[in-house]
Structure 1
Amino acid sequence: MEIEGGSLGLSTAIATLSAALGTPPRCNVAGSAVVLPDGRLGRVSFLAEKVRVLRAQWPDVDTLVVAAEQDDIDTVSGLVRVVRAPDLAAACAHFELSLESLPPCRIEERRPMLAALHSQEHKPHDVAQWIEKSAEAWELARAFHVEACARDAIEARLLAAIFASHAGDGQLSRAILAEVSEDDVRSRPPLRVRKLIYLATGTIDDDVVLAERTAARAVELCAELSGDDRAVLIGPALGTHGRTLLHADRIDEAEPLLRAALAHHRDHLEEQWPRSACYLATCLRHAGRAAEALELIGEALAAAERHSDRWEVAETTALYLHLERGRALAVLGRLRDAVLDLEHVVRKQDPAAAYPRLGAHRTLADVLARLEDADEARKHLRVCVDIARGTGRQTLRRVGGVAAAEALLAARPLLSALDLEAAWVACFPADVARGHVLRTWVY
């Protein structure tokens, strides 16, 4: 049985702590709460149903630990004594276990954790998972800093920053990178280049001019790297520089850099070239060369799907390529073919507030409206508008805001103009030129 949700978070944490300490928890106490990344406890759903099953199968359990904010307590008050706990440490005390009793984690144990986080960078995580991974990396960085392991601390902070960028939180990414000073990386050229690449990535949606300068500096510094380090970093540096120029509507300058990144990855990092091809295809589509983009996508998608069993990055990249192929097909007027690719992306990724799925919702709203399927188009546009007016990460909200602006520009009565305008205003400052955003937005 596949179990979804986080209701087992507290029970899993208690079981793990008990095993680590070699001490059994109190047998008359149970727990039902989500454990959040910062250790706080979150509420669960269907509490009454869970307690009824608990009482039927484990009648000796007379106490239930829940989150401080848990609701529906009155529905179970006659069945079990409910104890509220604000966080994991407080909850553990009710089981007569203590987090403070855990032995310290040694540096040689933390380094494999850091290596494991490195392998996460190209996995298909959703926003919440990326933020959780960012928090894990930041905690490792703090531990390495305390132990005066400077290089490991920098590595961990860089990962925390790029994970935050993947979640669409450029502000958080930049804040983490600010903890890595120029003195920290001056004597470590590979880390210095990575910091610049990640800083450009985290800045691109808020200050594209600064992002372009930062990425250009990363490309320059690659000339100073050793052969092996340069082989790993020049491709991402060129690709990031190209993407900043694409966002700045400098397409003619972006294309040669994106082509250079693609050529480098073809020669040196085979698993990365399909993603580079996707970026170049986006550039070609924005340049009005959708047919050329479509040909490149077909080649890259075949490579990604051929290697999906070997590299997880290929599986993730395939979703981006299907999104880009759907958009290229839409530009070429092959609307029904475009729907097939875009719906594939929607089916393959959860939740809706994840990329590239949200990008597929955005484009489906337009394509289905052009096919005069207003009801289905409205559903996809509603997903975008709800996310734009929500409280999620900024970049993803802006994808929804752009979808709303595109619907306004097309003058299609899918949703009220007031609703669409509110979605735009919720995401972009008043001084931002809507036409420029719609012309350069690539997500």
Structure 2
Amino acid sequence: MKSTAAHWMLFAAIMALLSVHSLRLGLVDWRDSMAYWEAAENLRAGGDNLYARQERESRGRPYLYPPAFAAVFAPFTYWDDRPDMHPGERGLMNPYPFPSSLYIWGFLHLVAVPLTCVVMSRVLRRKWWDVHIATGVCLGAFGTVVLDAFYGNINIFIMLGLAVAGALAIKRHYFWAAFLLGAGGMLKIMPFVLIPLLMLRSPIRAGLGGLLGALLMWLLPLVLLVPQMGLLNGFEANIRLTGEYIENWVLPSVSSMQFTKGGAFKVPNHSPLAALQRVFGEGTQLTPVVWDKDDVGPMLFVLPGWLLKLAALGTTLGLYIWSGWLWFRSRSRANALLALGMAFTGASMANVNFWHYHVPGMALVGGAMIVRARHADRRAWRRIVLFFVLMTFGFAGPSLLRTYGMAHFIQVMKWGIPTWSILLACVLALTLGGRRSGMSEIHAP
């Protein structure tokens, strides 16, 4: 399939938008990066308040990740060329004087996107640089590709890691695929969800690989802790920090007991539970502004909270199980990548908080759908086009509405239109993945 000018123009536009978000001073909001920065500084000082809400220059954004990610981010904190003034005063500067090392972090976002596309092209046995697959990756994971650079978030690197792990798994290197996912899970917990799928194919190799990768990454904070407090105290501190992470973030997120008042379900949370709570939950905060306390749900009528949780969990668990079944029976590289990407997305949507840049797994799905399109009949072609329309609308649509009027943006988000668009796109992808096609040249090894 030859690259067309339209494909190149579309991909160039996406990359140009990403570049503007990443590198133009004043057009970025790297407060997520500053939360990482402050956590890394805290870990370098012993980690006593790693999971306390930061009140400095991250605007109160908490650190939500395992201790190992703070250790990974620590090298950036050694180059701090911000004005020497009180953090509270510096935090009010507009544009904010981000440390120069964060521009390296932003540049790495730019590098990670084409690397993901190259990995996808190679594993699908296309040209080393196939603009069709690159376009599919970017459109499928539009929220991650564009918005992660804006916020300075980690998900773009999770996207690259998923592509590499998927490539290793397709080549039956289950140990190393699980090793990478285990290590990635100690940076952000979600990659762990793909290890059970790999264990369906190779229980021992995948299990050992995931365990070893997680263990080695868990040990990384000791590089910063041991020189300060000694070996035994460093181990003790690392265990304590891991316990704080589980207590403060993992368990509340799983149980959702902390979120019963509905504040976490406000716009722009895209999780199925949040969308259902806004429409049917009593007293659910709808708008993102904290002073608009009168704008509360339900938007239609009240349904029991347990029923909403059951519906949301059933939907996302169904996507994960369906994806696992497709992975287990897959005989093509495209279907295998599609299944892994969908399993990751389904598990991510089960979280209480699912934001518009939490779709790195859809990069695998987007690339796989492009390859399927080459062998598709007319009916399948319509479904593939509809998939990309739904995914793009789910994230780009509300952003465009926001440009033309905040009221329209809020209304679309309140009703959970992006959530339902993404769910429908997921169902379309899985139904296509379950169909046989003439893809003999990309059969899994």
Above 0.5 in TM-score?
Answer: no
TM-score range, shorter chain: under 0.3
Which one has more relative contact order, counting CA pairs under 8 Å at least 6 apart? 2
